[in-house]
Structure formats: C-alpha cells, structure tokens
Amino acid sequence: MFVRRFTVASAIVALVGAGLTAATPQAQAATTVPRFDHIVLVMFENKSTSQITSSSAPYFTSLAAQGAKFTQSYAITHPSQPNYIALFSGSTQGVTDDNCPKTFSANNVGAQLIGAGLSFNGYSESMPSDGYTGCSSGTYRRKHNSWVDFSHVPAASNLTYAAFPTDYTTLPTVAFVSPDMCNDMHDCSVATGDSWLRTHLDSYAQWAKTHNSLLIVTFDEDNWLSLNHIYTAFVGAHVTAGSYSSKITHYTVLRTIETAYGLPALGGAANVSPITYVWS
C-alpha cells in the first residue's frame, strides 16, 4: 500500500516539475499538422473572447470543450476587412478600412490550394448570387468575403451559403464560411450567432470528428475593448481536447492550414509557427 502511494505521489511531482498538471491536454508529440480531407473555417464578428461565455453563447462554449480552445488568440488589426484579408493572404494588403471594393493580384490560400490540385470555396450567407462582386446586398457585405477580392481565385469559388453541401464528403478541401451581418453577431446578438452556429454547423463538427476533417471557429476582431483578444476553437479529427495558452493570431491559423497541405507560408504566416501541439 505504501509503495502505491509513493508511486502516485512521485508521478504528480514529476508532472508539476515539468510544468504540467493532470488537466493539461497532451498531444502525442505531433511534429506537423494532419492532412485533413476537409477544413471548414467560419468567421464571426466584433466580439471579444470575454463576451463568448457559457451564459451568452452556450453552444460556442460546448464546442470549445469538444476540441482545442485557444485562450490567447488575437486578431491582427481593426477594423473588420483587413483581418479577413490577412487570414486569407498573410497580409492586410495595405487595407486599413472597410471601404469597397478591393481587388488584389497577391497570392492567397485559395489560389494556393487550387494551384496544388486541391480545392477551395467560400460560402457567403445572404449573397444574392454565386460569383457576386457587389459591395452589399441586404445583410451581405463584401468586406466579410475576402476571396472575392483576389483575382487569382475563380468566380466559381465564390458561392452563396445556400450552396454549402449537406453531403460533407462533397466539400472542397478548404471552405471559408461567412454568415450574414445578423448571424455573424455584427448587427445582432451573441445569442443569435450562437444559435446560427449550432443550427448550421454542429452536424459538420460531429461528422468531422470521425471523417478526418476539421472545423475552425474564430472572429475577425474584438469590440475594441480587449486588445483584440478573440475566441478561436478547433474541433474535429485528431484534436486533443483542452485549453491551450500559446499565443496565436490569424496568421497562425493560416500557417496551420497551409502546413496541413504542404503549401508555402504566405506573408505574415511565414513569421509564425503552425499549430502542432493540439493533435493526437
């Protein structure tokens, strides 16, 4: 009996000495990012991580508990538009406002994927038609649709959210999803966005866990009150659930997606490391 007590105590001392606790999530010494069959990234609007709580956003909270929650995740700048562009291309491309339109010839993750023989689609809720290039329509805003700004991304990759497949095996390699101005929390409540995410993407999140796929949920920026500290979570296959305190940004997320498919790091993504410590 004494031997067993000593063994357990020694193990605890060893963990503490290594800076770990039994509650610390531990990946199995991953050295790279899994090559997922599908990645879906959805971006919400203008809320700090302190606003995404168990009372205001129960589904966001539940989702984070199912995967990797990044407690030190930060946007790049203000306002909205340059953050969308940065996550897509590794640079704000000099954009400092939400004015429309913007058109760039710079490389980006959509063009990278297509050039590598993979696939990319962006899905925008409330956009009036596939391939639309207008600045706004109803509750759709082009400033939240970064892929339409790049000449190297074909019009066929700029789709309405109505085209998002229910048969997830038919998804492109990487899909970016932009809810409309209400459902992304820009004009409506946190509860509205929470309900939208649960209704529209929970089935994909659960499917992804057993189909070598990943859901990334993040925000463009905060509410200007918390140093651009935002909610980010990864849910899906190979993810070791837990909270992770290493600092990440939109460039880190881009670098992680690029690394999953062996793509060169673009711009600011080349100055950060991909996330390798959450995979089992």
Show the domains of the chain with their CATH numbers. Answer: 23-271 (3.40.720.10)
- Residue burial 114-140, b: 16+ Cβ < 10 Å; e: rest: beeeeebbbbbbbbeebebeeeeeebb
Average pLDDT score over residue span 138-153? 98
Whole-prediction pTM: 0.90
pLDDT digits (tens, 9 = 90+) for 98-110: 999 999 999 999 9
CA distance 186 to 139: 10
Does 1 have pLDDT greater than 70? no
The tally of CA atoms less than 13 A away on the side-chain side of residue 80 is: 22
CA distance 132 to 111: 18
Residue range 137-148: mean pLDDT, rounded: 98
**pLDDT, tens only, 198-215:** 999 999 999 999 999 999
Q: What is the pLDDT of residues 42-64, one digit of tens each?
A: 999 999 999 999 999 999 999 99
33 and 216 in contact (C-beta within 8 Å)? no
DSSP letter string, 246-265: S-EEHHHHHHHHHHHTTPPP
pLDDT over 70 at 75, yes or no: yes
What was the pLDDT predicted at 30? 61
Integer Cα distance of 227 and 231 in angstroms:
13
